[in-house]
Structure formats: structure tokens, C-alpha cells
Amino acid sequence: MANYPVVETFYSVQGEGLFAGAGAYFVRLFGCPVKCAWCDTKNSWSGSAPNFMSDKQIANQASLTSCDFAVITGGEPTIHPLQELVDSFRALGIKTHLETSGYMPKNVENIDWITLSPKLHSHTHESYLVSADELKFIVSNAEEIELYMEKFGEYFSGKKAVFIVPEFSKSRDSELLSEICEAVKLYGFPLRAGWQLHKSFGAV
Ligand code: SF4
């Protein structure tokens, strides 16, 4: 059994990536060394100390919902040893999706879906660049789109999707949205223009 610092758990709608729109059970773990200036979940790494829950407590709570999969997120969830949590979900027939910036080397197996969101100001471990199912780039301007293409383009082959998502405070910036569309048209598949569906729907 393992204990995890849990900021929050909730059953909601996945707002991003190829599973957007699907019901999902979210587990937000505490702590993140990446510290993005625009982070919209700062409470996951700068707030007060969270409650600890065991892997079985978390999985049992999720099993009371109708979820098909659980999303392990943060913060940066991979700073914690995740295998027991993943195994407890699997034991109850719940798939696991992981959202990570790739800050740590990959040390967990049997994840059903990996969303990797590298950050330009932080290290991204190659083990996640290779194994991720989808990539997500959060951008504030056209220059960042180009930097992501240069830095990570060699890893696009075999990915199900590579989303370019406007940083939320710029999600109605017509110039940035236009730049994203132009990049998708220029580079082609697997690039996609991304959005944060749950914020449009007001879901939590
Ligand atoms: S990596 Fe994610 S959780 Fe950590 S600071 Fe950046 S956006 Fe926030």
C-alpha cells in the first residue's frame, strides 16, 4: 500500500486531448518543481499541505462513479511513485491516464494513456517523449509554437495527436488562435488546434 498527497479528487469531464468530452475521475496530486508562471493549478504546488490517501482509498472512491478511466494529474504527478495507484485502479477495472510534463524519468508501467505536456523552460525526459500517446503544447505566442516544433518535432512520428493549446488567458486572442491554425495547416498531421473544453462548459 502507498499513501499519496491528494489535493483533490473529482468526477468530471475530460477537457483536453483526444479523450475530451468523456467522463473521467481526476486525482490531483500535490507538488510540482516546474512552476510555470501561467499555471492554472497553482494550488497543487503552492497551497497548504494536502490530505494523504492510500491507493486503495482513491481507487475505491473512483469505483463508486461510472468512470471508464481515471486521470492522474497534478502538479507533476510523476514525482510520486505511481505504480501502486495504477495497480489499484486496474484491480477494479478502471483504466489510467497520466498527465505529465515529463520532468522525471518514466518509472511506472501499465498506464493506458499518456498525455505529455513539455514545457520550454523545463527539462523533458526522453522516456516520456518516446512513450507518450499524445503531446500537448501550451503556447502564448507564435514564437513559442516555433520553439516547440524545433525542440520536439523529431518525436511526432507515431503520436496519436499533437495539440497546440492557447494558454488560457489568451484563449480568445484572435491573433494567437490564427497562428495556431496556420501552424496546423503548415505542419499537418498529427498537429491539432487544442482547446480546454471543460472551461467552456464550466465543468469542474
Ligand atoms: S507543470 Fe503543470 S502543474 Fe506544474 S507548474 Fe506547470 S502547468 Fe502547473
Question: Is this prediction's pTM over 0.85?
Answer: yes
| Residue 53 bridge partners (DSSP) | 4
Q: Quick check: 27 and 9 in contact, CB under 8 A? A: yes
Task: Please name the residue whose Cα sits nearest to atom 1 of ligand 1.
Answer: 34
Average pLDDT over residues 32-42: 92
Q: Tell me: pLDDT of 47 over 90.
A: no
Alpha carbon distance 10, 15 (integer Å): 13
DSSP 101: -
Atom number in ligand 1 closest to CA 42: 8
Contact status, residue 86 vs residue 108, Cβ threshold 8 Å? yes
Is residue 135 within 8 A of residue 117, CB to CB? The reply is yes
- Give pLDDT, residue 203: 61
Nearest CA to ligand 1 atom 5: 35
Q: Are 82 and 98 in contact (CB under 8 A)?
A: yes
Ligand 1 center–CA 88 separation, angstroms: 25
Nearest-angstrom CA–CA distance, 36 and 19: 24
Cβ contacts of 136 within 8 Å, gap of 6 or more: 16, 17, 115, 116, 117, 162, 163, 165, 194
- What pLDDT was estimated at residue 50? 87
Domains of the chain: 3-201 (3.20.20.70)
